[in-house]
Amino acid sequence: MESSARWQGYLTVLSSNERETLLGTSLSRRFTKLPLWLSHPSNISAFYGLLVSLALLLPYRFAQDSNGWFTNWIFHSALIMVACLLLGMMSLIIVSISKRFPVAPPRYILYPMPFVGFALLSISLTEMLTLPVSFIWLLLLLPGPMYVHLSWAPRWRLLRQLENGVNPFAHLDIDHRNDSNEIEDITDGDEELLSVINALEEE
């Protein structure tokens, strides 16, 4: 956790709005607790691919009669993780060029997508309906890399700058340092309550 401790030491010089932009809401705050090398956007995206692969373990086991189902699952899982890893790396490259700040992902769209995709995949494997395979894989794989592209990759870039002693907000024309800290006073340091308020504000 040494890397995270370094950038956390600079949080006191930031305003409340800047800290909110830097840390994000509950999911992003969990990732900020990891060392920066471990929370690299490509690693976070690959981790999502691993979660999808684990969810596919049972469908692969019971939908295939061949004894080689586990080998097929390993192969496809590796492809999924590599694809997600590359998408995460591309997102960081794009963000590094565009200097874009993080934005809130459309949760009501992205969060249910893997569950809908998994349900459709199960239906398709039972041969009850013939569904387009590309659509199912889009539902399964898009949410993680999309979250990384919209939210985590820009946020990781800011954390990296702060770790190197560079204030990522110094070039902004709008100075947020005199903004009111009423929300923080009300929550009295309660991070869970603060994350709920942040989520409501973003929605």
| Cβ density class 41-69: b for 16+ within 10 Å, e for less | bbbbbbbbbeebbeebeebbeeeeeeeeb
pTM for this prediction:
0.77
pLDDT band at 144 (very low <50, low <70, confident <90, very high): very high
In whole angstroms, what is the distance from residue 77 CA to residue 49 CA? 8
Give the lowest-confidence range in 26-40, 41-55, 79-93: 26-40
Give SS3 for 6: helix
In whole angstroms, what is the distance from residue 198 CA to residue 180 CA? 15
pLDDT exceeds cutoff 80 at 65: no
| 156-166 pLDDT per residue, tens | 999 898 888 88
pLDDT of residue 3: 46
Give the domain ranges of the chain. 2-202
In whole angstroms, what is the distance from residue 187 CA to residue 200 CA? 14
DSSP 43-63: HHHHHHHHHHHHHTHHHHHHH
pLDDT exceeds cutoff 60 at 20: yes
Helix count and strand count (H, E) for the chain? 13, 0
In whole angstroms, what is the distance from residue 16 CA to residue 67 CA? 57
Nearest in space to 45 (alpha carbons), one of 88, 97, 106: 88
pLDDT exceeds cutoff 90 at 147: yes
| 74-133 pLDDT per residue, tens | 998 999 999 999 999 999 999 999 999 998 888 888 889 999 998 888 888 777 777 788
pLDDT of residue 179: 43
Span 182-197, mean pLDDT?
Answer: 54
